[in-house]
A = this chain, B = another copy of it.
Amino acid sequence: MRRITIIGLGLIGGSIALSLKQAGLGDIELVGYTRSSETAIKALKRGAVDKIEDNLVSAVDKAEIVVLATPVMAMKEILEKMGPHLSHSCIVTDAASTKVKVMEWAEKYLPSGIKFIGGHPMAGKELSGIEAAEADLFKGCTYCIVQGEDTSSEEIKVITDLVKYLGANPFFITASEHDNFVAGISHLPLIISSSLVMSTTQSPYWQDMSVLAAGGYRDVTRLASQHPVMNRDICLTNQKNILKWIDEFTKELNRFRQLVIDGDQALDKAFIQAQQARHKWIEEHDKGD
């Protein structure tokens, strides 16, 4: 029996497991690693995995593929610990929100011969944990794939096939491009959402304001509900890009501030431009709404 091991059974790991189960992989044994007995029970109850291991060495034993789905910072230690226990033909991948650091750690801690191919599904939701996991979470999403050093096309194909089983669309990208781009479209929005929550809820008028706040506020603040440990790890492993994007955004916010002061036709134009640019994105990428 061939074995795939998923390390971490939260929203992403749990959804990968459920999705692979749904795809029906035949004689593959799906092993989940978690140290939380609560998560273990829930994962088994949902039929996400065939077996739970709370020991990392046993979990990766004889695995053909290992998928890391923990918060980014935890991956460093996991790579170091499990490295010596991987079978020599094992391919390791991950689902972290940042890629440069993870690729560095894989290069440093995995024994030579073990191939690492980075991954990042561009899907998710603000809820976390196995209870929020869904088999269809990755359906139609872009799934970033970062080739590791010396990976062959056969090895890449193993991970690309896995991504296709999830219903996602493989997108090849370098680690540094990935971290720059997601800082703009994902990490900056997270910082903005969180800053908006803090600046409004700390107001002395929040009690009344909270009654008025509705769908617009809910949507713009949604990312602030993401898992705090994941959020922190994103910042710790993508600091430079995030700071650069905060500064880009601040420039634009200041420009809007001045437009509000001037109150002339340039203000009209700015709102029209923003509406059109977003519309173009929605249309071209079929993002619903």
Contacts and interface: CB of A to CB of B under 8 A. Distances in A.
A12 to B, nearest CB: 13
A24 interface: no
B261 A239 contact: yes
A215 B221 CA distance: 13
A58 interface: no
A192 B192 contact: yes
A196 interface: yes
A22 interface: no
Contacts of A215: 123-125
Determine the main DSSP class of A at the interface with B. Answer: helix
Interface string A136-163: 0000011010000000000000000000
Nearest to A280: B201
Contacts of A214: 122-124, 141-142, 185-186, 287
Interface stretch (A3-11, A32-40, A102-110, A243-251): A243-251
A176 B255 CA distance: 26
Nearest to A123: B214
Interface residues of A, number: 98
Contacts of A144: 212
B212 A171 contact: yes
Interface stretch (A43-51, A74-82, A228-236): A228-236
A227 to B, nearest CB: 8
A190 interface: yes
Copies in the assembly, this chain: 2
B277 A186 contact: no
Given A184-B203, A223-B216, A271-B228, A235 B208 contact: no
B216 A189 contact: yes
A189 B212 CA distance: 13
Nearest to A237: B263
Given A192-B192, A205-B181, A261-B239, A199 B248 contact: yes
A127 B216 CA distance: 12
30 contacts: A123-B215, A126-B289, A141-B214, A142-B212, A184-B199, A185-B209, A186-B217, A188-B199, A188-B200, A189-B221, A191-B257, A191-B260, A192-B192, A194-B270, A198-B252, A199-B245, A201-B277, A211-B285, A213-B287, A216-B222, A224-B278, A225-B289, A231-B271, A232-B267, A235-B259, A235-B260, A242-B260, A243-B260, A246-B260, A249-B253
